[in-house]
Amino acid sequence: MTPSPVWRPFTQHATEPPATEVVRTEGAFLETRDGRRILDAISSWWVVTHGHRHPTIMTAIAEATQRLDQVIFAGFTHEPAERLARALVEMAPPGLDHVFYSDSGSTSVEVALKMALGAARNRGEARTRIVVMEHGYHGDTIGAMSVGARGVFNAAYEPLLFEVDTLPFPAAGREQATLDAFGAFARGRRAAALIVEPLVLGAGGMHMYPPFVLAELKAIAHATGTLFIADEVMTGWGRTGTLFACEQAGVAPDILCTSKGLTGGSLPLAATLATAEVFQAHRSPDLSRAFFHSSSYTANPIACAAALANVEIWRTEPVLERIAALGRAQRMRLEALAANARFARPRVCGTITAIDLALGGSGYLAAVGPRLRAEFLRRDILLRPLGNVIYVLPPYCVTDADLDAAYQAIGEAADAVS
């Protein structure tokens, strides 16, 4: 057979083994063409929350296709989008009264940045800077890369990226330095917005920080008229133990980005929620003040129906209890693993655990990453370390036995690559 024409994401085709073909998914598992059942311990890149092919979501999608496909969303509307927007406003932190739909996490971030700049311009304020956090990740489009950490992923595109003001990561004991840096940038009154991943910086290496930092950042933003953007693309929908991570800090952002778990991980959809203040800054008899953004597939009715089914699951199933139990089960196993001297910096936030393998160098290009991945796959476990950072981010339906298998594989793989 000729090689596949598919060019895969984040893949070095010269060195990586061929992709594994999946023919069926169910719950926490991927079933392969050659009959293996692989535990999806990273929720297929963090999107699948309740489990693959949750029946409530699959049924909602099937029913939605009986009536609607894509519908233009300027000048027209449809029930799935209207109902979902109301549900999101009700479930999100208070004050986020407006919902702008798009189709990926990166796009929801681009939308948030454009809202912040647009609001400043429409108010006649010379605020054009964005403040970001060290190790942040917000997506792979040019704007989203600009507000994320610079490194090997975006070195080639650096000439296209805009300048930002970067806060040091609030490592334990050094939180004040982060707050002071933000205070200095914000008091300059050139900052339109601060964008942060609340509580967990995902792709940057699963760095975790406590809720009080988030609350303090929000207080500074509020006092200085800087908009506070919470990128909850990964942390939303229960990942950190609450529906949204901001809840743990009692923080209501001015703008909130959600995607990944919004449809339970079944279909691409994103939403950027904004306060009345941000919305009103764009509302005017003057067309030139409108918010100039659209995705062709904005508010896709089938994706909105899938998201409504996800909301239904949150409302009718004991999801919070389930993720609390998952958090405890993960913590127990991580603590056992941390006794092994090969590991360092065990950390937990809600349903997410992470630990560093203390050998083979650090950083995303650490050679140990691909070797670990291969060891996991040999054991029918899908884990995808970020360099030397091993993390477990499973669907909420995962069982204790599944977790045992995952953590046993982590111990064995660490031995195998040592």
CA distance 83 to 255: 20
Find the binder of ligand PLP among 41, 92, 119, 233 (CB under 6 A). Answer: 233
- The least distance separating ligand PLP from the CB of residue 130, rounded to whole angstroms, comes to 14
Q: Indicate which single residue of 60, 96, 220, 234 sits in contact with ligand PLP (rule: CB under 6 A).
A: 234
| 139 or 238: CB nearest ligand PLP | 139
Nearer to ligand PLP, 178 or 272 (CB): 272
List CB contacts of 225: < 8 A, sequence separation 6 or more.
125, 189
What residue type is 105 in one-letter code?
Answer: G
Strands 381-382 and 37-40: parallel
Q: Name which of 32, 55, 26 is nearest 402 in CA terms.
A: 26
Q: How far is the CB of 251 from ligand PLP (least distance, A)?
A: 16
Q: Does 256 bind ligand PLP (CB under 6 A)?
A: no
Nearer to ligand PLP by C-beta: 47 or 372?
47
Question: How many residues belong to the site for ligand PLP (CB under 6 A)?
Answer: 14
CA distances from 65 to 48, 102, 310, 313 (A): 21, 19, 17, 20
Burial-class residue 412 by CB neighbours within 10 Å (0-12, 13-18, 19+).
middle
From 110, 231, 254, 402, residue interacting with ligand PLP (rule: CB under 6 A): 231
Taking the complex as a whole, how short is the minimal distance between the CB of residue 409 and ligand PLP, in angstroms?
A: 24
Q: How far is the CB of 113 from ligand PLP (least distance, A)?
A: 12
Q: Are 333 and 399 in contact (CB under 8 A)?
A: no
Q: Closest residue (Cβ) to ligand PLP?
A: 105
Check residue 394 and report its DSSP letter. -
Distance CA 393, CA 402 (A): 12
What's phi and psi for 375, nearest 5 deg?
Answer: -60, -40
**Comparison of 49 and 106: residue with beta carbon closer to ligand PLP:** 106
Alpha helices in 244-318, H assignment, sequence order: 276-280, 301-316
Q: Does 356 interact with ligand PLP (rule: CB under 6 A)?
A: no
Handedness of CA 209, 112, 253, 318 (dihedral sign): negative
Residue 259 sits in the site that holds ligand PLP (CB under 6 A): yes
Please identify, using beta-carbon distances, which residue of 51 and 202 lies nearer to ligand PLP.
202
Contact characters 103-142, ligand PLP, x per CB under 6 A: -xxx--x---------------------------xxx---
Q: Which residue has the tokens 């199933």?
A: 317
Residues numbered 359 to 398 that lie near ligand PLP (CB under 6 A) are none
Cα atoms in the Cβ-side hemisphere of radius 13 Å centred on 155 = 2
Residue type, 121: R
Residue with Cβ nearer ligand PLP (50 or 138): 138
Stretch that binds ligand PLP, among 87-95, 100-108, 161-169, 381-389 (CB under 6 A): 100-108
Which is nearer to ligand PLP, 261 or 327 (by Cβ)? Answer: 261
Min separation Cβ 45 and ligand PLP, Å? 7
Residue 277 Cβ vs ligand PLP, minimum distance, rounded to whole Å = 23
Per-residue contact flags (x/-) with ligand PLP for residues 178 to 197, judged by CB under 6 A: -------------------x
Going by C-alpha positions, the residue among 234, 299, 275, 241 that lies closest to residue 83 is: 299
The site for ligand PLP (CB under 6 A) is made up of 104-106, 109, 137-139, 197, 202-203, 231, 233-234, 259
